[in-house]
Amino acid sequence: MNQLKTVPSSQTEQKLPEEKLWYAVIVQAFTDAAYAGNRRDPLYAKREAIEWMNTQGKDFKLVFHYAGYEAEYAMRKVRKLLTLVKYQITEIQTAILTNKKPQSKPSERYKLSF
């Protein structure tokens, strides 16, 4: 997250507690979006975080603004980050979210032959 430009300020200026809070919201969204496991509840959070970052609506812009970041710059960076594999939902994760069992190829060992 330190790659984002802040609203012009000096390097010695301390962030306000409110800015730290909104920064934590951004960090949590990226943490949720990068979830690599297969537990259902975190996968719901991953899907919501990715959707929130993809839509880049008014609340997205406000969160970055409240955290002290330029919204337009943040939007460009987020679009680029979302192309990384760790921010994609895998086939297995999709199957878990849709309550479907992932398809697996039958093994030759377990085929019945008569």
Contact 34, 86 (CB under 8 A): yes
pLDDT digits (tens, 9 = 90+) for 51-98: 999 999 999 999 999 999 998 999 999 999 999 999 999 999 999 999
Q: Quote the pLDDT of residue 100.
A: 72
Q: Provide the residue ranges of all domains of the chain, joining segments of one domain with +.
A: 17-101
| DSSP conformation class of 36 | -
Q: Quote the pLDDT of residue 99.
A: 86
Q: What percent of the chain has pLDDT over 90?
A: 71
pTM attached to this predicted model: 0.74
Q: At what angle do helices 58-66 and 40-55 cross, to 10 degrees?
A: 90
Structure tokens belonging to residue 84: 């990384």
Give 31 or 114, the one with higher predicted confidence.
31
- Residue 27's DSSP bridge partners are none
Mean pLDDT across 41-60: 95
